[in-house]
A = this chain, B = another copy of it.
Amino acid sequence: MKIIVQKYGGSSVADAEKIKNVALKISKKVKEKNKLVVVVSAMGKTTDNLIKLSKEVSKTSIPRELDMLLTTGEQVSASLLAMALNDIGIKSKSLNAFQAKIMTTGDYMQARIKNLKAKRINDLLKENEALIITGFQGITEDDEIKTLGRGGSDTSAVALAAALNAKCEIYSDVAGIYTTDPRLHPGAKKLKYITYDEMLEMSSLGAKVLHSRSVEIAKKFGITIYCGSTFSDEEGSYVMKKNIEQPIVSGLSVMDHQTQVTLSNLPVDNNLVQQIFEKVAREGLNVDMISVISNAGLNISFTIVEEKKSSIAKALNIILKDMKGFNLHYNSGYSKISIVGIGMKSSSGVASRFFKALEKVPLTLVTTSEIKISCLVEEKFKDKAVKALVTAFEL
């Protein structure tokens, strides 16, 4: 019995016709003697609509109840897909997080899968040809429902593939992984291969192809993820350990609505730096592009998404409440642009090509890692910068 784990995103199951189309896609693989475990997202805009409804009802929408609310979306699409499969003669059952025993840990709205009791799924696969699992969600030992964060269904799929020792295929309305977002830049090229590390940099940089936690799990367990289109048979992309083609730069990603936070003239104190980032982490705030320069005084700069500005201000005010003489600035309206490529490690001159390409764009902040260079630019310069980088690195 060969098991394939597939995942279909929200736009792939957006209406009755699309659900029937997915059922046909699944039935093809079943007829090739595979057993299928299929993870589904909520139909189309369901999650957004539920969030909208919660805002009409409640000002605060406490996370526990928001998770109770949102997880219904996947149960709807999973049961409908199971119906459609049974209709075309594929023996199939839907399972929610309670039934599939997807155990999570951590906070509401950002839980992490802890373990999967694969035995139950394996048992059910003996008497079914396809099991449809609600993505994006898990339960805790004390029966609380938690979600994995937006896009978390990818992570459900990869975790299932790891637990079941199965192939993993992720289908969406995009035919694979592109050098940059093809919806924004029609000239973007599709990659045949991309490594886990490149994909991780891309995901955490805002490329919406895969939930970054899913790539972490794939890397840990050595699962190759195939990303393809639900709506065509066009060959997609593989996320795997080695990039067979090894280009220097594989992709470019853009993240809008960034705020730069700058603290200057603080006393030179490494302990203080640590305290600041510890507090920020404890509050669950993701900061990026951290730059610390210690000279006559200590200067710290980092970026955060604009909507978290008030949360970060609250956290910083607590840490710095007894301190005087420093400056704190928040500058919004920035975009972060990054290029990523495993080939950078072994290739010289990438940074100089990067700066040369952007010589006419004012860069507010630049950070680098072994396989990534990111820069912060005012949003009005974004298109110019992207165009220059796409040309320079043939993306």
Q: How many residues of A contact B (CB 8 A)?
A: 40
Interface residues of A in 14-64 (CB under 8 A from B): 15-16, 19-20, 50, 53-54, 56-62, 64
Is A86 an interface residue when CB atoms closer than 8 A count as contact? yes
Q: Is B80's CB under 8 angstroms from A58's CB?
A: yes
- Whether B68 and A96, one on each chain, are in contact in the complex, defined by CB atoms closer than 8 angstroms, is yes
Q: Is the CB of A16 within 8 A of B53?
A: yes
Instruction: Check A79 against B68 for contact (C-beta < 8 Å).
Output: yes
CB distance B68 to A54 under 8 Å? no
Which B residues are CB-close (under 8 A) to A68?
A: 75, 78-79, 82, 94, 96
Please give, as numbers and ranges, the residues of chain B lying within 8 Å of A54 by CB-CB distance. 79-80, 83
Contact A69:B79 (CB < 8 A) given known A57-B20, A60-B87: yes
Interfacial residues of chain A within 227-270, with CB under 8 A of chain B in the complex: none
Q: Kindly state whether residue A84 has any CB partner on chain B within 8 Å.
A: yes
Which of B69, B84, B99 is within 8 Å of A80, CB to CB? B69
Residues in B neighbouring A144, C-beta threshold 8 A: 99
Answer whether residue A217 sits at the interface, using C-beta atoms and an 8 A cutoff. Answer: no
Contact B57 A83 (CB under 8 A): yes
- Contact: B60 with A83, CB < 8 Å? yes
Proximity bits, A331-369, B CB within 8 Å = 1, else 0: 000000000000000000000000000000000000000
Copies of this subunit:
2
The residue in chain B whose Cβ has the minimal distance to the Cβ of A143 is B99
Q: How far is the CB of A63 from chain B (nearest CB, A)?
A: 10
A240 to chain B, nearest CB (A): 35
B50 close to A65 (CB less than 8 A): no
Report A3-21 CB contacts with B as 1/0, cut-off 8 Å. Answer: 0000000000001100110
A72 at the interface (CB under 8 A from B): yes
Q: Inside 8 A of A72's CB, which chain B residues have their CB?
A: 72-73, 75-76
- The proximity string for A residues 258-288 relative to B, scoring 1 for CB distances below 8 Å and 0 otherwise, is 0000000000000000000000000000000
* Assembled-state Cα–Cα distance A181/B66 (Å): 38
Known: A50-B76, A53-B80, A143-B99. A87 touches B66 (CB 8 A): no
Contacts of A19 in B (CB 8 A): 57
Closest to A98 in B: B98
Counting CB contacts under 8 A, is A93 at the interface? Answer: yes
- 28 CB contacts below 8 A, A to B, read A20-B57, A50-B76, A53-B76, A57-B84, A58-B80, A58-B84, A59-B87, A60-B83, A62-B86, A64-B93, A65-B80, A65-B82, A65-B83, A66-B79, A66-B83, A68-B78, A68-B82, A68-B94, A69-B75, A69-B76, A71-B75, A72-B75, A72-B76, A75-B75, A98-B98, A98-B143, A99-B144, A99-B145
> Top 5 closest A-B pairs, CB basis?
A16-B56, A68-B79, A58-B83, A72-B72, A69-B79
